[in-house]
Chains A and B, each alone.
Chain A
C-alpha cells in the first residue's frame, strides 16, 4: 500500500478529484496549506506600500492506494493538475504499514 501526497494549485482540485473518481478512487483527504517552492512569493501593494506574500495558498491531497493502483493515480494527478507554469506543485509517495477502518476494525487492503 502507498500513501500519495500531492500539493497542487487550489483551483485544480475539482479536476483532480473528478479524474481520480473516474479511475476508481473512493476517498481522499484534503487540507488547505500555504507554502513556497521555486515559484517563491509575489509582491502586492496595500494603500501605496508594497509587501511580499511569501507563502502562497495550495491544496494538499492525501490518499492511500494499493501498490498496483499507485502508478495510475500518480499519472492521473500529474496529467490533470499540470498547467505547465511554475508553481504546479509536487507529489510525494510513502510506503504504508497498515490501514484500519475504525467502524469495523477491518485491516489492510480491505480497509482502503
Chain B
C-alpha cells in the first residue's frame, strides 16, 4: 500500500521532469533554425567587394592574424601599409600574422582568466549569504547558491546568451567569429532604430560554434550568474526550492539578457548617444546596473512578495535581530567576492592588451577600501560599535558602485564613490528594514540595488575624459557632468530608470503569477523547524543541537 502510494508519487514527478526535458528538446530545433538563418543580403552581394566571408572558427587556428595588428598601437601599420609593403617584405607580412594572432591570444587568455575569477565569486556569495543566515537554514542557503550556477548556466545557454549578445557584432579585441553575432532585432520609432534583443547563438550552435564566441559566452555567463544569485540572499530562509528553480531559469533566460542587450549587446540604451546625442549612450563598464542593479531590484521584489521571516518584526512593527550563525564564514565570503571582483572589472576590457586594466584594477580596490571604512565609521558614530558585518557589506557596496565607472574615473573619484557607497549602504539597510519593512537577511537590496544605481550615476558625474574614445560608436573620450558633458549624466539617468522599471515590473508580474502556481513561501512549521531537511534533504550541521539562546525584543 505504502509502496504503491510512493511509487505513484515518484511516477508523477518523473513525468513532470520528463515533460520539462522534452520541452527543451522541442525548443532546440526551433532555436537552431533561428541560428542557421541564411546570411543577410549584404553578405550575399559579396562578389562586388572581395571582402573575405566571415566564417566560424571552432578550432581557433584561424582566429587572429595580420588584420589584427592594424591600429593596435599608435605606431602600428595601417591596412594600407600591410597591402603595399607586404609583397616587398614577405617575412614581415608573415610575422605580422603571428603578431596579430598573439595579440588576440593575449586578449582571450585575459578574458578567460578573469571569467574564472568571476566564477569563483559564486563561492563568495554562497559563504557570505550562508554566514549571514541561521544555522537551521545553512544547507538550504548553500544549496540555492550552488545550484543557481548550474540552472542559470543552462538557461543562459538555451536562450539567454542569444538574446543578450546575438546582435553585438564584431568585437575587435576578440576578432574571430564575433562578427557572426549580427542578429539584433530592431524596431523603428521616430525614425530611429531601437535594438531590443539579439537572435544569434541559441544553444551556442550553428554558425556560433566559434572559439571567440565560446570564450565570450563563458565571460558573459558568469556575470549573469552573479545577478541570478543575488536574490537568494534577500529571499533566504523562507523560499521554496521548487519556485527557486523556476526563477533561476526565468532570470537567466529573459530578464538579465534583455537589459544586458540594451547596454552591452548593441541595444537601444547603448545607442542613446548615436540617436539622441546623450553622451556615449548609457555606459556601464562592468555591470553596476546590468549585473548588480538588476539583481538588487529582483531581490527587492522577491523579498517584498515573500514577506518577512517569522519573528523578524514584533507585532508593533519593531524590527528584531536574527543574527547570522557564522560571521567568519560571511567575512571570508566577502573577501572572496572582493578578489573575484578584479576579474569582474578589469576583465571587462575583454582585452589584456588594453593597459587601462592597471587603472581599472586599482580603482576597484580603492573603492572597496573606502566603502568598508566609511560603513564602519557610520556604524561606529551612530550605533556605538564598529560593526564588522556592516563594514563587509560596505566593502561590497563600494565594489558594486565602482563597477560601472571603474574605467572612466581617477583615484580620488574612486575613493569618493566608495565612501558614498559605504554610507549609502547603511542608510539604505535601515530604510529597507525600518521604513519599507522588507526583510533582507543579508543586505542584498542595499548592496546591489541601491549602489548599482549610484554606480551608474557616478559615472555620469565623475568620468574624467581620459578613456573611452569611440565607445558605442561615439568619437571622443567619456566625460561626466563635472568634466563638461551633462548629456552623459542624462544617459546614465535613463539607464537607472529603465533598469528599475523594467526589472521591477517584470519580476513583480513573474513572482506574483509563480506564487499562484508554485507557492514561493514554505509553511510556517517548516520555517520554524528550518528548511534544510524539508527543502533540500540535507542538514548543514547534523551533529549539533541547535537552540536559540536569545530572545527578540
Contacts and interface: CB of A to CB of B under 8 A. Distances in A.
Interface of A: 34, 41, 44-56
Contacts of A41: 550-551
Contacts of A56: 549
B384 interface: yes
Contacts of B390: 47-48
A51 B387 contact: no
Interface in B521-553: 549-553
A53 B550 contact: yes
B383 A51 contact: no
A48 B551 contact: no
A98 B185 CA distance: 88
B71 interface: no
Q: Which 7 A-B pairs have the closest CB atoms?
A: A49-B321, A46-B321, A51-B321, A55-B549, A46-B323, A53-B550, A51-B550
Nearest to A54: B551
A41 B553 CA distance: 13
A53 B553 contact: no
A76 B429 CA distance: 52
Central interface residue in A34, A47, A50, A53, by most chain B CB within 10 Å: A47
A87 to B, nearest CB: 15
Grouping DSSP codes into helix (H, G, I), strand (E, B) and loop, the A interface class, with mixed when no group exceeds half, is strand
Given A45-B321, A46-B321, A51 B384 contact: no
B15 interface: no
20 contacts: A41-B551, A44-B321, A44-B323, A45-B321, A45-B385, A45-B387, A46-B321, A46-B323, A47-B387, A47-B389, A47-B390, A48-B379, A48-B383, A48-B429, A48-B430, A49-B319, A51-B320, A51-B323, A53-B549, A54-B551
Contacts, number: 52
Given A45-B385, A46-B323, A51 B552 contact: yes
Most chain A Cβ neighbours within 10 Å, of B384, B390, B549 = B549
Contacts of B384: 45
The winner among A41, A44, A45, A48 for most chain B CB atoms within 10 A is: A48
Contacts of A52: 550-553
Interface in B305-338: 319-324
B437 to A, nearest CB: 13
A45 B549 contact: no
Given A44-B323, A46-B321, 11 more contacts: A34-B549, A45-B384, A46-B324, A47-B387, A48-B383, A48-B390, A49-B320, A50-B553, A51-B553, A52-B552, A53-B549
Interface string B431-452: 0010000000001000000000
A26 B319 CA distance: 51
Interface in B372-396: 379, 383-385, 387, 389-390
Contacts of B553: 50-52
A56 B551 CA distance: 12
Nearest to A34: B549
Which residue, of B320, B323, B379, has the highest number of chain A Cβ atoms within 10 A?
B323
A22 B320 CA distance: 48
A34 B551 CA distance: 14
A67 to B, nearest CB: 36
Contacts of A53: 549-550
Contacts of A47: 321, 387, 389-390, 429, 443
Contacts of B549: 34, 53-56
Residue of A49, A51, A56 contacting most chain B CB atoms (<10 Å): A49
A94 B458 CA distance: 72
A48 B387 CA distance: 8
Contact of B321 (A34, A50, A54): A50
Contacts of B443: 47
A51 B323 CA distance: 9
The CB with the most chain A CB atoms within 10 A, among B324, B383, B429, B550, is that of B550
Most chain A Cβ neighbours within 10 Å, of B321, B324, B384, B389: B321
A17 B433 CA distance: 48
B128 to A, nearest CB: 14
A56 B550 CA distance: 9
B317 to A, nearest CB: 13
A27 B324 CA distance: 38
Contacts of B430: 48
A44 B548 CA distance: 14
Contacts of B433: 49
Contacts of B383: 45, 48
Nearest to A55: B549
Nearest to B385: A45
Contacts of B385: 45
A44 B552 CA distance: 11
A53 B553 CA distance: 11
Nearest to A43: B553
A52 B387 CA distance: 17
A49 B324 CA distance: 13
